Amino acid sequence: MSTEYRDTLYQNYHTTQSGRASRRDKQVQFNIEKKQFKQEILPLLRGVDKNAVICDVGCGSGSMLSVLADAGYTNAFGVDVSPEQVKFAKDMGVPNVHCQDFFEYIKENEVQCDVVLGMDIIEHFTKTELVGFLKNMRESLKLEGRVLFRTPNLDAPMATVFANGDFTHENYMNQSSAEQVMLSCGFAQVRVLPSLMRTANPLKEFLRKITYAMMRFRLQLLLFATARSTKGVLFSPNLVIEAKK
């Protein structure tokens, strides 16, 4: 992943993208991310041993690692190629975060993982890079190991808000193509799930649910009108991809 534009944009990624986009106090944004991951990702780890080796690739602010620590996971670590993101994570009190390429880290430290998490990372690879990344990722897993990725969903209404909202994004998937690439790279038991959609205000959440139900019905009606099946189509802003070795 070493191209000139990446070297430029990842150097201060938090200032120019993740932090800029939120326009919130760092601690407030960190807590919001933690709440999202606790509700969206943590339930998918139910049954994973608390001593399991878990790596958060592209760990960013470290909010997912903080959720894991709060839940009692004792052997989790994170890697990120952005020095600024790693510093931010350490400033937030998140331990065991390394500014390094994932594959370099596991090779140097002879690590095999039970679980690899990749929140909002696989969209940053070109298609060729992603296939190589997934194949190598599979080899880094222990027997029965699993991966969990979150990535923008190209079938979502106004998908460009998420897909093109970051200049470093290189590829976009929907449920079908996500399943295709994971199976092609040797993974099994692939599931693609809708991302969590929720607002904090109860009244706004009630109105959001009604609006979403109406919008979803309209989108399904459009698919029906073009003689296409609505099976296997998700409309959430992001996809959550789960797969096993």
DSSP labels for the chain?
---HHHHHHHHTHIIIIIHHHH-S-HHHHHHHHHHHHHHHTGGGGTT--TT--EEEET-TTSHHHHHHHHTT--SEEEEES-HHHHHHHHHTT--SEEES-HHHHHHHHT--EEEEEEET-GGGS-HHHHHHHHHHHHHTEEEEEEEEEEEEBTTSTTTHHHHSSSTT----B-HHHHHHHHHHTT-EEEEEEEPP---SSHHHHHHHHHHHHHHHHHHHHHHHHTT---TT---SSEEEEEEE-
List of the chain residues with pLDDT < 70: 1-3, 14, 16-24
Query: For the domain bounded by 4-196+233-244, which CATH number is listed?
Result: 3.40.50.150
Counting beta carbons within 10 angstroms of the beta carbon of residue 70, is it exposed (0 to 12), middle (13 to 18) or buried (19 or more)?
exposed
Which pLDDT score is estimated for 118? Answer: 96
Domain ranges across the chain: 4-196+233-244
Q: Is 234 left (phi over 0), alpha (psi -120 to 50) or beta?
A: beta
Which pLDDT score is estimated for 18? Answer: 60
